[in-house]
Amino acid sequence: MTRPSHEARGSEDTIGRTDDIDDETPKTTLRGVAKVPHVQPEAQLRTEQQLDQLTQRMDQLIEKADEIIQRMNQLIQRLDEIIQRMNQLIQRLDEIIQRMNQLIQRLDEITHILSEAAAQMRELVGEMRYVRKTLQAHLGVVSRRMESAVDTAVIRILKKCGSERAHRFWTVDGKGIVFEPGTPVEIDAMSIDPPIAIEFTNELRADDIERLLKKLKFLEVVLGITNPSAAYIAFEVTREAAKMAEEHGIEIVRIPEPYVRDEWQSAEEDEEE
């Protein structure tokens, strides 16, 4: 037996409906089968709207998820760049540490060299102190011999001039008659009768002769000493000074001279002893 078609069943449902029964009560066909409630158009429209809203919300969520995934990819890329830079920084730090270790090693070598140099310097300082002490002793002997030689030269000059005594002369040209006002005027050894001025120096130069000539002029103008003679005792004499001294009649006595050479020989012998 064949089942009735959809149209046939619809006809049967129409035939089986009674007008006095509520629409919401279950419908039965003539055969006693329950009928599905009829869906109103408003409810169907509301369901479709809900589905559209749900679909729209899903699309928004998918779009938001895509944005989140994109941002996560960008963040991952950024993290990869940071990690790469950190690796480069670590590599650079390793190089710096290696160079620092080399520098520390070099400083250790320099410290060792400086320690050896300091020990050598201490030895050198000890030797220099010994040399200085020896030189001081030698200079003391030589200085005494030089003073003795100068004294001997002064005595010979005075005897040659007919004088027996000389003294150190010192005054000030307060009024600026010959020198600048307030300039000290000093003569190493001076005799009044006969008048003679004697000066000492290591190396006699032309300007030394010029100053001595000014001092002689000061003696004549201020003290009234007539025609004072002069002599210079020196160890070295320049050609200009020797020429100027000869022109002005100034005697130059160089040390060592024959009459004091024995004194120098004695000083060398004392040093050797």
Residue 114, in any domain of the structure: no
Helix (H) or strand (E) holding 82: helix 41-161
Residue 247, in any domain of the structure: yes
pLDDT in tens, 180-224: 999 999 998 888 888 999 998 888 999 999 999 999 999 998 888
Do the beta carbons of residue 197 and residue 228 sit within 8 Å? yes
Q: Which domain holds residue 240?
A: 141-272
pLDDT computed for residue 8 by the predictor? 41
10, pLDDT greater than 80: no
pLDDT in tens, 15-74: 444 444 444 444 444 444 445 555 567 777 778 788 888 888 888 889 888 889 988 898
Span of 166-175, 225-234, 257-266 with lowest mean pLDDT: 257-266
Q: Report the CATH number that the domain containing residue 219 is assigned in CATH.
A: 3.40.1350.10
Number of domains in the chain: 1
pLDDT in tens, 95-107: 999 999 999 999 9
Residue 239, in any domain of the structure: yes
Residue 152, in any domain of the structure: yes
Q: In the predicted model, what is the mean pLDDT of residues 249-272? A: 58
pLDDT computed for residue 246 by the predictor? 92
Residue 223, in any domain of the structure: yes
Residue 90, in any domain of the structure: no
Task: Tell me the C-alpha distance between 154 and 149, whole Å.
Answer: 9
* Residues making up the chain, counted from first to last: 273
Sign, CA torsion 175/192/153/142: negative
Residue 264, in any domain of the structure: yes
Q: pTM score, two decimals?
A: 0.46
Residue 201, in any domain of the structure: yes
State the chain's mean pLDDT as an integer: 78
pLDDT computed for residue 15 by the predictor? 40
Task: Tell me the C-alpha distance between 97 and 223, whole Å.
Answer: 85
> How many CB atoms lie under 10 A from the CB of residue 252?
16
